[in-house]
Amino acid sequence: MNFLNLNPFLRVLVPFIVGIGFWLVGFENTPGIVVLSVIYAGCVLLHLTMIKKSREFQKVLFGLFSQVFFLLAGWGLCRYHHHKENPEHYTNLLSSEPEYYSGYISDLPSEKIKSVKAEVMLQYAKIKGEWKSATGKIIVYFEKNETAQKIETGKSIVFASALKEVAPPLNPNEFNYKQYLARKNIFYTAYLKEDSWNSVDIPESFSLYGFSQKVRKYLLNTYKESGLQESEFAMVAALVLGYDDEIDQPLMNAYSHTGTLHVLSVSGLHVGVIYLLLGYLLSFMKGNKKMVWTRVILILGVLWFFVLLSGFSAPAVRAAMMFSLILIGKTLFEHVETSNIVFVSAFLSLCYDPYWLADVGFQLSYIAVLGIIYLYPRFYNMLYFSSWLGDKIWALCSVSIAAQLATLPITLYYFHQFPTLFLVTNLILIPVSTVVMYGGILILLFSKIAFLSKGLVWLTAICIKFMNASAVFFDGLPFCVIDNIHLSLPNMILMYVLIVLVFAAIENRSYRMLAGSFVLSIGMVVVSLFYDLAARNRNELVIYHSDKTSVLSVFKGTNVVQLSDTVPDSRLESTLRENRIVNDVISERKRSLSGTCLVLAGDKKILYCKDGKLLSEALIQKINPDHIWVPGKAVKRKKQREHLCELENIIISGRHYKKEGCFDKAYFTQKDGAFILSLSRGLARDGEFTSPQIK
């Protein structure tokens, strides 16, 4: 049968996703969506009249109308979920300069090094002595003290603090944290000192989400009191409750490099394991018509209770919704297309929150499931094992290969790496992580029975140590991961089309499809050459924004020289890595900046000085630099800056609090972003530097 006939809901999902996509890429105004709708309608009409050769006018008109309707529905849903449209949203009250805000903690607080971070749902704002209704969510950082550490989900607070808008990315190819939070309808933050806020005793209104957070905190405390060590507690909390805030970053990187990062979060894997276990335990009820719906209710109840324990995390909600629909569909109908149910699940998930479409986890989970549905049987049928153990091992390998191949383009695009040992690591860590998850659940169930709880803690701890040791061991192998891969967005799309074409050609034995896949491969090579040519023609200097480190990079084609005064922190290093990958850097050299240096790049001279008071007028006149670069902390004191205030070619990187009448002509990376300077081509200097001295 035709693919669309087997998956009719795809006709609804595709225009719905297109409408959401239009909003996400920036077409938020009505005229823009009207123009795009007309273009989309033209494409659909062309498909219906020419490709499908449909001659029935009513069918063409209905198909055209339904496609445009669901496109506009996706776009309109995004507009509805955009909380700034609400006139009571706090962003619409900021011009009135509220003196106080009131709200409640809406998520589980997390401790940072110097603060306690929490999401606060605002309820009221005090403007000119009058309390007015306000809505919207902000992120609050409490000054770390005993009171802040005891704050709980659902607790109401009143505070006096100016709200600070989330800053946009200031460096090229930096993670857009502002956009990430905006898609969660969070636009502002606040830092509260000890004397600027108070908790208030307001009766809490019941909410299922708030209740789940309290249950979650109670279970986390149960784990802490069970005797689990810090690393073991962090792993169990992540596997069972989706709380991964306490997992060390090096350990997280080890799981990422081995292709097993998915085992550290409550996701489709964990919900699927519970679904399969419940299905097996309650299989005796399947043949009894009177007990069939009792079985369905029991499985659904346990699945959604597990979602509640995870704090209604997005991956758990999506997975539970998917398995719930599969269970109900297979109970109601004798024959049901699983992929069509997956499409229904994706549609309902996006109806709940259309911004999930931009979430990498959403994309990976649904693509992985579809890959398993279509590719797993084809890989599994390639080999036959007579033994039960061999068959189960090959089945697990087939699932891993199918999921890895389906998600390969998107993982290369976002993460720029390919875990070469994913087959071995998944074969080892997935079964062990399943045991850990079951052990974590049993620890909660039998926490009051001392001898049984201790035995479960001991067994679970051994499994966790084995998991971590395995991940670290494989990560230490030199061939564990192929890193720094640059896959452009056009090539990611072409790669997905190529995968579909190749498997369709094999299944249908179509030489025409095979020839099409060959042409597509050539197209991918052409796109890669285009990006490579652009990279080879790049000649520029970049001074990055950073509060802690002074960093300058000189790009000449595919080569880069990086100069810095200290080792960049993890966030800046991630940005530097992303910038190197996107620009197809092949060769990199690192050098240290110290004291006063003259950086020679192309036809430009950049004078760097770590301390502003060392920049004498004689030194500047002798060198005659094109630009003078100082970190913000170097001109913090008056003596350091008074003789530099009138310079027109000065660049100040990092945090700097501008004084009135001083540095009016300066370039501030804190305000203007990274300083990017184009260089002349063909010159030999590519980041050489000297230490000038004036006697």
- Which two tokens mark 463? 């499994």
What residue segments make up the domains of the chain, in order of their start? 3-81, 90-205, 210-259+419-477, 271-354, 359-415, 489-535, 539-690
How do residues 577-609 score in pLDDT, each as one tens digit? 999 998 888 888 888 887 788 888 888 888 888
The model's pTM is 0.84
Report the candidate in 435, 437, 454, 434 with the shortest Cα–Cα distance to residue 446. 454
Handedness of CA 193, 195, 197, 198 (dihedral sign): positive
Residue 599's DSSP bridge partners are: 606, 689
- Which two tokens mark 254? 């080890």
Strand, helix or coil for residue 419? strand
Confidence (pLDDT) at 128: 87
- Rounded CA separation 421/258 (Å): 6
Instruction: Count CA atoms within 13 Å of residue 8 on its CB side.
Output: 4
Q: CATH classification of 90-205 is 2.40.50, yes or no? A: yes
- Which two tokens mark 267? 């996701």
Question: What letter does residue 135 receive in the DSSP assignment?
Answer: B
Instruction: Specify whether the backbone of 650 is left (phi greater than 0), alpha (psi in -120 to 50) or beta.
Output: beta
Strand, helix or coil for residue 316? helix
- Rounded CA separation 155/63 (Å): 51
CB 585 within 8 A of CB 607: no
Confidence (pLDDT) at 72: 84
Low-confidence ranges of the chain (pLDDT < 70): 1-2, 30-37, 44-61, 63, 202-209, 265-269, 287, 612, 637-643, 646, 657-661, 681-695
- Rounded CA separation 81/79 (Å): 5
Pairing of strands 627-631, 650-653: parallel
How do residues 158-209 score in pLDDT, each as one tens digit? 998 889 999 899 999 999 999 999 999 999 999 998 888 988 876 656 666 6
How do residues 184-196 score in pLDDT, each as one tens digit? 999 999 999 888 8
Q: Which helix (H) or strand (E) holds 674?
A: none
Confidence (pLDDT) at 139: 94
CB 661 within 8 A of CB 645: yes
Question: What letter does residue 290 receive in the DSSP assignment?
Answer: T
Confidence (pLDDT) at 409: 93
- Rounded CA separation 22/72 (Å): 10
- Which two tokens mark 97? 């300069």
